[in-house]
Structure 1
Amino acid sequence: MAARVVRRGMEPVAQVLSDPQAVYPRGIAAVRLSVPGGGQLMVSTIHLALQQDNRVTHAREAVERVRRAGCPVVMGGDLNETADGPARRILDEVLRDPAEPTEHTFPATRPRRRIDAVLVTPGLRVRTARALRSAPGVPAARMRTASDHLGTVVDLDI
């Protein structure tokens, strides 16, 4: 399905850096995709800061980006806090995490917290959402050592 979406057209969305002077600047990379049958979908990646105040600032910027999108949004990444954190509560204003809270992603070797997620705007129909513990041809042991976080995956209808 993804190949059919991309073939129809894709338009980059302007990059936003929360604090370009920070030791580790954080931003939002996004692309607007044309979807079969008409309409658009914005797909975005995000990596929130380690410091709470920076995460909150970045989350507010992400919420404004979603509000201005004018189409459904899928935003995934390392959020660096669990669903009860202040930045996640801000993101909850416009996005939802369709995975169960028990789909832990961190640390990858013994996941105990869900700090990574693929978030979606209301109205997108999600078939499944989960932490990625294995994949065809990739054993679970390899997934646990590829990064300090497990990946997350959603299957949705657009």
Structure 2
Amino acid sequence: HHYFAQAIIAKGRPFGNALISKYPWKEIETIPIPDPPRDTDEYYESRVIIKARFENPDFTVIASHFGLAKSEQVNAMKTTLSLIDEVKTPLVLMGDFNITPNDDKIRPFFERLKNAYDEKIPSFPSGAPERRIDYIFVSPDIKVITSAIVAAVASDHLPHIAVLDIPE
């Protein structure tokens, strides 16, 4: 099962987020992240969030790729936090948030959810990782069995894997 959420067309090709799953989802949607005002010199690209609800067990996945501009990251955080507040099932939040663990902007995720990785292992850029900007967070009711950042070049980021025990 696969889903692509297009955010923009760049160089004639669609750009956005994808969700690939072994299991079918019950519901899935693309949620646009509001663009910041265009009154600054910051470069940014429109971005989106994927929200998918699965059943057996019932849980929700939110996946995104935040931009580099600070104003865009603020909008993305607000939108994502609003979605988290609406979710009534166990939750997995994952993506490239382009925010390091020491940045105050990402603190609300650490306060509301469990980080699947206790260590601050860098995963970007994949050739010589020096920054941690990719995450998998889970709601407190989900148990993280194991997690890993794989030393395999699949893109400009190292892949993240988490085995989770999601309550029935």
Over residues 110-152 of structure 1, what are the superposed CA-to-partner deviations in whole Å (9 max), with x where a residue is unaligned? 112211011111121001122122xxxxxxxxx23x3111111
Residue 21 of structure 1 and its aligned partner are, at CA, apart by 8.2
**1:152 and 1:49 mapped to 2: Cα distance?**
19
Counterpart residue identity of residue 112, structure 2: V
User: Structure 1 segments of 4 or more deviating over 6 A?
Assistant: none
Listed as ranges, the gaps of 5+ residues in structure 2 are 1-20, 39-43
* Structural mapping, 1:64-79, within 5 Å: 64-79=82-97
Counterpart residue identity of residue 134, structure 2: D
**2:63 and 2:107 mapped to 1: Cα distance?**
18
Aligned residue number for residue 60 of structure 2 = 42
Over residues 14-61 of structure 1, what are the superposed CA-to-partner deviations in whole Å (9 max), with x where a residue is unaligned? 52322288751112111100124xxx2111211111012221221121
RMSD: 2.1
Aligned residue number for residue 98 of structure 1 = 116
Instruction: Output the TM-score relative to the length of structure 1.
Output: 0.78
Structure 1 or 2: more helix by fraction: 1
Listed as ranges, the gaps of 5+ residues in structure 1 are 134-142
Which secondary structure does the structure 1 equivalent of 2:129 belong to? coil
Aligned residue number for residue 5 of structure 2 = none
Structure 1 or 2: more strand by fraction: 2
**1:49 and 1:115 mapped to 2: Cα distance?**
11
**2:74 and 2:109 mapped to 1: Cα distance?**
9
99-108 vs 25-34, greater mean Cα deviation: 99-108
Residue 95 of structure 1 and its aligned partner are, at CA, apart by 2.3
Aligned residue number for residue 136 of structure 2 = 118
Instruction: Output the TM-score relative to the length of structure 2.
Output: 0.74
Aligned residue number for residue 132 of structure 1 = 150
Q: How many residues align?
A: 141
